């Protein structure tokens, strides 16, 4: 193994000076000069879109350990060689202290090196930087030798103790899975992780293990890291065969499970339940809480039945939150978010205070499910409050799993399907909350791989297949791969309490953690550190993987950045076809399903255009509504020519909609670096429902760091919405009156 194998970065040299460490800054950063001394941290404030540079004169052969802990905003940490090439780049999220393993940098040559702290967010923050340790070349060499010995011992332990599996394919029998009974014991919860959200072998192996848990160990519930309210559509299919599982999967908001593999699992659950010999039926639940629309819609619908007066009072607020554009897509003001959070919390409280009254007018199960929808709404609102803790989602998911187990009864056993990040028993993770509640009645299985393919979303929100080579030396995956198991279970519960193997597998090793993915950012985002033997009871390992298979027609077309607005009158293109240079899609970053899977149709129309011969139309007619999403038409242009200016989006719109909740919205979004975005004046309280052509406009500001501008028309619910004569124009320079 080379030095990178131990979390060190190469080729990179840092050394200590006799009187401490000399720190300087580049000329443009002269105001940021700070002195660093061993074990004496420096606190610094860093404005939005700024960077601080620490220049260090160092000599070869030494090992430096330093820490950077951000506060209030996420930061990037770079280390550059004397020639300016970057040898280290890592993202450090604010408030995630378990990830803050120190940087270990081994010297390869002498010279001036720079540590650069970058703030790419649109808000100021602070950070702490500290030199933790400096070793001489001899001491560094001794440490590397010790690390090598521990890594080799760990690989040897894995080879001796790994439980080989015959296949990942379900329906293959359970002979090789029998040793899992010893690892699981009497656990009521088995958490199955994944280091990527889009790997065929992971999904099939989870399916196979769930079959084993059902058939051999009495498990009857599957909980998935997907939004709880919409997942009830899938549960209805699993229990009764009602509905369309393909459409239900496509409308759970999550691209990651809109796959052939997950569909196969859902269909297997339905087949199991259809067998009259199986008296206890399987249940499918989601336990996530990131989307408010269905939760709000179910809540107000239930209140109209059991408490019409209260429903009338809350109707305007809940109708707004039932709009899928309201929270997930548009930047409602901080004041409104606080108000919505307070209202949602009060609704949950009222459910408890009026339980007897509500149960009498419905039933205990109906009350419980409706209250849980109100609780999901409250969780979503609270997580969006200014300054909300980023770990709230994990805490809420754990609480929702507790509700599922209460709902299913004291003897219920649940298998959980989620990312490794969430199931890990690490501070402020879902797994940690559940371990504190259920103790050893939960078994936690991480899942990772050495090399191969997976399906993921890119930084530009395009879904595609990726392929990566063998794991980097020194990572958790490289240690497991060294034992050469094709498919295996690594039983960390059987790891000795002490010794070199235990020390290595309990140390902070880099490990793959991929949701969305870009190759250029693998080390920055996708190789955080984990103490695997503490975070997981066991690790499922697959040597070579392939990408999961997206359901046919399930991928949304990728956005194309145009140099300037074009085809704004929709005169280019053929009737009944999608307009050229426009994308069929609603303004949700994560709305990756194709519009037709959501029930929407987008096309050029020659029916009563406002000007010229054509317009664009968005239409939707559904007997059954799956999920809560908006359809639409959008265009994305380069923001460079608009930077530092006020802009106006103007367009003619008419609709053909009926009933409350069916409406159209013109929208405008300015996107900055790292996904920062601003919506402008979406008029959610005043939707477009007029049947005649009218002009609508939105004013916005484009700051100096904007990358793209997106705009379009969205249709909520069913009906038709027409768009014509779109314009995007500069109104004035920022700082001047328009």
**Which segment, 95-109, 213-227, 451-465, is predicted with the most confidence on average?**
213-227
Residue 579 has pLDDT above 80, yes or no: yes
Residue 9 has pLDDT above 50, yes or no: no
> What is the 3-state composition of the chain as percent helix, strand, coil, each rounded to the nearest 5?
35, 30, 35
In percent, the amount of the chain with pLDDT more than 70 equals 87
Report the CATH number at residue 52. 2.60.120.380
Minimum mean pLDDT among 333-342, 345-354, 674-683: which range? 674-683
355/680 Cα distance (integer angstroms): 41
Q: Which tops the pLDDT comparison, 179 or 597?
A: 179
Categorize the per-residue pLDDT at 16 as very low, low, confident or very high, splitting at 50, 70 and 90. Answer: very low
Categorize the per-residue pLDDT at 531 as very low, low, confident or very high, splitting at 50, 70 and 90. Answer: very high
- The answer to the question of residue 157 being in a domain is no
- The answer to the question of residue 384 being in a domain is yes
579 close to 567: Cβ distance less than 8 angstroms: yes
> Residue 329: its pLDDT value, please?
56
240 close to 183: Cβ distance less than 8 angstroms: no
Task: Give the chain's mean pLDDT.
Answer: 86
Q: Which tops the pLDDT comparison, 84 or 162?
A: 162
605/628 Cα distance (integer angstroms): 26
Residues 6+ apart with CB under 8 A from 118: 50, 51, 75, 76, 77, 78
> Residue 31: its pLDDT value, please?
46
Work out the widest C-alpha separation in the chain, in whole angstroms: 82
Residue 652 vs residues 345, 354, 625, 699: alpha-carbon distances, Å? 39, 47, 28, 15
Bridge pairing between strands 163-164 and 51-58: unpaired
Domain total of the chain: 3
Report the CATH number at residue 603. 2.60.120.260
Residue 275 has pLDDT above 50, yes or no: yes
Minimum mean pLDDT among 38-52, 81-95, 207-221, 722-736: which range? 81-95
- The answer to the question of residue 570 being in a domain is yes
Q: What is the pLDDT of residues 392-439, one digit of tens each?
A: 999 999 999 999 999 999 899 999 999 999 999 999 899 999 999 999
Quick one: average pLDDT of 596-608?
87
Q: Which residue among 73, 102, 135 closes a domain?
A: 135
Q: Which residue among 392, 423, 458 closes a domain?
A: 392
Angle formed by the axes of helices 293-306 and 308-321, nearest 10°: 170
Q: What is the pLDDT of residues 466-479, one digit of tens each?
A: 999 999 888 999 99
Range of the domain at 657: 561-733
- The answer to the question of residue 349 being in a domain is yes
Residue 167 has pLDDT above 60, yes or no: yes
Residue 2 has pLDDT above 80, yes or no: no
Residue 10 has pLDDT above 90, yes or no: no
With vertex at residue 7, the alpha carbon angle to CA 4 and CA 12, rounded to the nearest 5 degrees, is: 55
Minimum mean pLDDT among 507-516, 533-542, 609-618: which range? 507-516
> Residue 260: its pLDDT value, please?
95
Report the CATH number at residue 384. 1.20.1440
367/370 Cα distance (integer angstroms): 5
> Residue 270: its pLDDT value, please?
98
> Residue 15: its pLDDT value, please?
29
- The answer to the question of residue 512 being in a domain is no
- The answer to the question of residue 602 being in a domain is yes
- The answer to the question of residue 471 being in a domain is no
Q: Which residue among 102, 135, 168 closes a domain?
A: 135
> Residue 105: its pLDDT value, please?
79
Residues written for the chain: 738
- The answer to the question of residue 452 being in a domain is no
Q: What is the pLDDT of residues 169-202, one digit of tens each?
A: 999 999 999 999 999 999 999 999 999 999 999 9
């Amino acid at each position: 193994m080379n030095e990178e194998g131990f979390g060190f970065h190469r080729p990179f040299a840092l050394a200590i000076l006799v009187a401490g460490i000399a720190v300087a800054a580049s000329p443009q950063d002269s105001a940021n000069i700070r002195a660093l001394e061993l074990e004496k941290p420096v606190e610094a404030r860093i404005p939005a879109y700024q960077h601080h540079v620490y220049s260090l004169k160092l000599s070869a052969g030494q090992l430096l350990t330093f820490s950077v802990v951000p506060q209030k905003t996420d930061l990037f940490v770079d280390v550059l060689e004397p020639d300016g090439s970057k040898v280290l780049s890592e993202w450090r999220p604010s408030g995630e202290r378990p990830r803050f393993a120190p940087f270990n940098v081994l010297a390869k040559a002498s010279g001036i090196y720079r540590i650069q702290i970058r703030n790419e967010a649109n808000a100021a923050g602070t950070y702490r930087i500290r030199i933790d340790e400096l070793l001489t070349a001899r001491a560094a060499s001794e440490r590397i030798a010790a690390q090598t010995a521990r890594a080799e011992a760990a690989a040897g332990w894995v080879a001796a103790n790994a439980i080989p599996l015959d296949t990942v394919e379900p329906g293959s029998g359970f002979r090789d899975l029998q040793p899992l009974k010893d690892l699981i014991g009497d656990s009521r919860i088995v958490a199955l992780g994944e280091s990527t959200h889009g790997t065929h072998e992971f999904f099939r192996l989870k399916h196979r293990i769930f079959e084993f848990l059902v058939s051999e160990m009495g498990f009857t519930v599957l909980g998935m890291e997907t939004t709880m309210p919409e997942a009830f559509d899938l549960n209805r299919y699993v229990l009764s065969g009602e509905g369309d599982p393909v459409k239900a999967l496509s409308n759970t908001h999550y691209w990651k499970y809109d796959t052939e593999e997950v569909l196969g699992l859902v269909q297997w659950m339905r087949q199991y339940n259809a067998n009259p010999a199986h008296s206890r039926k399987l249940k499918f639940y989601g336990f996530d809480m990131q989307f408010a629309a269905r939760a709000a819609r179910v809540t107000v619908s239930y209140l109209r039945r059991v408490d019409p007066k209260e429903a009338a009072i809350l109707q305007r607020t809940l109708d707004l939150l039932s709009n899928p554009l309201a929270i997930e897509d548009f930047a409602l003001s901080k004041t409104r978010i606080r108000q919505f959070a307070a209202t949602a919390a009060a609704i949950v409280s009222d459910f408890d205070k009026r339980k007897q009254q509500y149960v009498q007018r419905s039933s205990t199960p109906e009350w419980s499910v409706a209250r849980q929808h109100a609780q999901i709404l409250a969780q979503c609102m609270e997580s969006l409050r200014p300054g909300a803790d980023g770990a709230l989602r994990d805490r809420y998911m754990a609480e929702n799993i507790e509700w599922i187990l209460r709902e299913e009864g004291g003897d219920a056993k649940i298998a959980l399907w989620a990312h490794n990040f969430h199931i890990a028993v690490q501070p402020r993770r879902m797994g940690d909350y559940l371990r504190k509640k259920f103790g050893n009645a939960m078994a936690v299985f991480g899942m990772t791989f050495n090399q191969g393919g997976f399906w993921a979303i890119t930084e530009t929100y395009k879904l595609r297949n990726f392929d990566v080579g063998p794991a980097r030396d020194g990572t958790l995956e490289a240690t497991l791969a060294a034992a050469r198991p094709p498919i295996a279970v690594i039983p960390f519960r059987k790891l000795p309490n002490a010794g070199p193997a235990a020390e290595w597998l309990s140390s902070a090793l880099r490990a793959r953690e991929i949701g969305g993915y870009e190759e250029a950012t693998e080390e920055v985002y996708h190789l955080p550190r984990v103490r695997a033997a503490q975070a997981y009871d066991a690790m499922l390992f697959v040597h070579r993987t392939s990408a999961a298979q997206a359901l046919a027609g399930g991928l949304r077309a990728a956005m194309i950045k145009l140099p300037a607005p074009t085809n704004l009158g929709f005169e280019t293109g053929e009737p009944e076809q999608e307009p050229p240079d426009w994308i069929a899609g609603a303004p949700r970053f994560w709305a990756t399903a194709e519009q037709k899977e959501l029930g929407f149709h987008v096309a050029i129309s020659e029916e009563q255009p406002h000007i010229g011969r054509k317009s664009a139309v968005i239409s939707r007619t559904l007997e059954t509504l799956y999920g809560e999403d908006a359809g639409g038409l959008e265009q994305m242009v380069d923001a460079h020519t608009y930077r530092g200016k006020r802009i106006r989006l103007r367009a003619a719109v008419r609709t053909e909609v009926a009933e409350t909740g069916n409406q159209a919205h013109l929208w405008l979004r300015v996107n900055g670096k790292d996904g920062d975005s601003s919506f402008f004046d979406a008029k959610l309280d005043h939707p477009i429902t007029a049947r005649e052509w009218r002009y609508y406009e939105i004013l916005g500001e484009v700051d100096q760091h904007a990358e793209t501008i997106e705009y379009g028309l969205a249709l909520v619910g069913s009906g038709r919405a027409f768009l014509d004569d779109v314009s995007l124009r500069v109104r004035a320079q920022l700082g001047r009156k328009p």
